[in-house]
Amino acid sequence: MKLHVHALLCCGALSAPALAADAADETCFSFSAERQTFYRGGQQLLIRDDGRHFRLNLAGGKCGAIPAAAKLRLSTQGEADVLCAGPGKVSARSGSCRVASIEEIDADTFALASRGR
């Protein structure tokens, strides 16, 4: 199955100017259930999904629920497996963190980040 990443407006209709805008809060990504998540400490989470790689910066300092969680849920305004910066959330059984920013990164950058470099 090929994952399709969709650029959407989080709170409105999709438009050409919105796609052209380079504002993090206007870009959303869809993820599959087979995604892999890697907590990088502090405020960073890495995601690998069907050959694509992402770096998330979480809002509000350290998110206590994230490091110990066996399973993380990704959602934006109640829509599962979709993340947008701003209203997006990463949740675990014991709490959640807001997504401050999300960016797609290349495999080399992902590999360095996952090793802590």
User: How confident is the model at residue 61, as a pLDDT?
Assistant: 61
**Of 36, 90, 31, 35, residue with least CA distance to 64:** 90
Strand 88-92 relative to strand 73-76, pairing: antiparallel
User: How confident is the model at residue 117, as a pLDDT?
Assistant: 58
User: How confident is the model at residue 18, as a pLDDT?
Assistant: 31
Per-residue pLDDT tens digits of the chain, which is 117 residues long: 333 333 332 333 333 223 223 334 468 999 999 999 988 777 889 999 999 999 999 987 667 777 778 889 999 999 999 999 889 999 888 888 899 999 999 999 999 988 875
User: How confident is the model at residue 39, as a pLDDT?
Assistant: 84
- 29-39 burial, b for 16+ CB within 10 Å, e for fewer? bbbeeebebeb
Q: What are phi and psi of 99, to 5 degrees?
A: -90, 115
Q: Which residues pair with 88 in a beta bridge?
A: 76
Which one-letter DSSP state was computed for residue 61? S
Domain ranges for the chain: 16-114
